[in-house]
Amino acid sequence: MISEKLLHGVQSAVLNRSLHDAVAKSVDRHSLPAAAALAPEQRGLFRARARAARLDAVRSLPALCAQFISTAEQRGIRIHTAQDGSEAARIVAQIARECGATRAVKSKSMATEEIALNEQLAQAGVTVLETDLGEYIVQLAGERPSHIIAPCLHKSRKEIAELFSREAGREIPEDTPSLSAFARGRLREEFRRADLGISGANFLVAEDGSLVIISNEGNARFSTTLPRVHVAVVGVEKLIRNYEAMQDALRLLPVSSTGQRITSYVSVVRGPAAPGEDGPEEVHVVLMDAGRSQILGGPYEEALLCIRCGACLDICPVYRQTGGHAYQSVYSGPIGAVLTPLLRDDAEAKALPFLSSLCGACSDVCPVGIHLHEHLVALRARAVAGGTAFTGEGAAFRGYRRAWAVPSRYLRLRSLMPGALRLARAGGPLRLWLRGRTLPPVAKAPVAKRLRDEGLIEEDD
Whether 245 and 110 have beta carbons less than 8 Å apart is answered as no
Identify residue 144 by its one-letter amino acid code.
R
On the question of pLDDT at 186 being above 80, the answer is yes
Any idea where the domains of the chain sit in the sequence?
Answer: 1-36+310-389, 38-294, 398-453
Give the pLDDT band (50/70/90) at residue 234: very high
Q: Distance (Å, rounded) from C-alpha 44 to C-alpha 52? A: 12
Q: Find which of 17-31, 190-204, 427-441 is predicted with most confidence, using mean pLDDT.
A: 190-204
Q: Is residue 416 pLDDT above 90, yes or no?
A: no
- At residue 385's C-alpha, the angle toward residues 379 and 387, to 5°, is 105
Going from the C-alpha of 126 to that of each of 28, 67, 95, 130, 195, the distances in angstroms are 38, 33, 11, 13, 10
Which residues face 79 on adjacent strands? 285
For 83-94, the DSSP string reads: SSHHHHHHHHHH
Summarize pLDDT for 104-152 with one digit per residue, the tens: 999 999 999 999 999 999 999 999 999 999 999 999 999 999 999 999 9
Q: 38 pairs with which residues across the strands?
A: none
Query: pLDDT of 14-37, one tens digit each?
Result: 888 888 888 888 888 777 777 777
CA-to-CA distance for 423 and 439, rounded, in angstroms?
A: 15
CATH topology of domain 38-294: Rossmann fold (3.40.50)
Question: What is the share, in percent, of the chain residues with pLDDT greater than 90?
Answer: 67
Helix axes 333-343, 372-385, angle to 10 degrees: 40
Residues 6+ apart with CB under 8 A from 419: none
β-sheet bridge partners, residue 304: none
- % pLDDT > 70, the chain: 90
pLDDT band at 58 (very low <50, low <70, confident <90, very high): very high
Answer yes or no: is pLDDT of 84 > 90.
yes
Cα distance between residue 455 and residue 442, in whole Å = 22
CA dihedral (273, 274, 275, 281) in degrees, to 10, reads 30
Q: Please give the model's pTM, rounded to 2 decimal places.
A: 0.84
Region class of 313: left (phi > 0), else alpha (psi between -120 and 50), else beta: alpha
pLDDT band per the 50, 70, 90 thresholds, residue 453 = confident
How many angstroms separate the CA atoms of 320 and 22, rounded?
9
- In the predicted structure, residue 227 carries a pLDDT above the cut 80: yes
Biggest alpha carbon–alpha carbon distance for the chain: 94
